[in-house]
């Protein structure tokens, strides 16, 4: 896997419910976003990275499973000028499984929201999910 050198900011955020262990929620996030800096406060965990390599595990899942089309659809739907985002199931992430959620309520304890921001967001999306056509063209 060749990882492009594109300046970006990758952020992952999720809530920590009162019934959850903060360290387990942080583990769930670190299972999907690699080598990130963590910050937790007031019932929220945030992870940040400036390296696309942090998405390498997600990239491999997209390439190895039949989830590429679903990820592409979500990233297109959430594309906004220089950023896009998607939800991952927090419970699945804890056991090292990357599972896309189309809506936040699909993850019973709340999702992990992954946001990618870059002036070259089109190139990042092309690397991450591949393209059949321009990502700026909506197919709805």
Taking the C-alpha atoms of residue 136 and residue 63, their distance in angstroms, rounded to an integer, is 22
Taking the C-alpha atoms of residue 69 and residue 62, their distance in angstroms, rounded to an integer, is 9
pLDDT (average), residues 12-32: 96
Taking the C-alpha atoms of residue 31 and residue 107, their distance in angstroms, rounded to an integer, is 16
Taking the C-alpha atoms of residue 88 and residue 99, their distance in angstroms, rounded to an integer, is 6
Q: What is the pLDDT of residues 74-91, one digit of tens each?
A: 999 999 999 999 999 999
pLDDT of residue 1: 73
**What is 9-129's CATH number, 3.30.1440.10, 3.90.650.10, 3.30.310.50, 3.40.50.800?**
3.30.1440.10
Angle value at C-alpha 101, between 66 and 64, nearest 5 degrees: 20
Q: For the chain, give every domain's residue range.
A: 9-129
Answer yes or no: are the C-beta atoms of 118 and 9 closer than 8 Å: yes
Answer yes or no: are the C-beta atoms of 45 and 11 closer than 8 Å: no
pLDDT (average), residues 67-73: 90
Give me the percent of the chain exceeding a pLDDT of 90: 79
Taking the C-alpha atoms of residue 98 and residue 121, their distance in angstroms, rounded to an integer, is 22
Task: Indicate whether 137 pLDDT > 60.
Answer: no
Q: What is the pLDDT of residues 105-123, one digit of tens each?
A: 998 899 999 999 999 999 9
């Amino acid at each position: 896997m060749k990882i492009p050198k594109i300046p970006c900011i990758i952020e992952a955020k999720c809530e920590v419910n009162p019934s959850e262990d903060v360290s387990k929620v942080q583990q769930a996030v670190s299972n999907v976003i690699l080598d990130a800096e963590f910050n937790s406060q007031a019932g929220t965990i945030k992870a940040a990275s400036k390296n696309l390599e942090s998405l390498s595990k997600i990239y491999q899942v997209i390439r190895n499973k039949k989830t590429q089309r679903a990820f592409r659809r979500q990233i297109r739907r959430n594309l906004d000028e220089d950023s896009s985002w998607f939800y991952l199931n927090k419970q699945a992430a804890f056991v090292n499984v990357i599972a896309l959620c189309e809506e936040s309520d699909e993850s019973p304890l709340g999702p992990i929201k992954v946001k990618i921001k870059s002036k070259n967001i089109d190139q990042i999306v092309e690397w991450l999910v591949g393209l059949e056509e321009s990502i700026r063209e909506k197919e709805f």
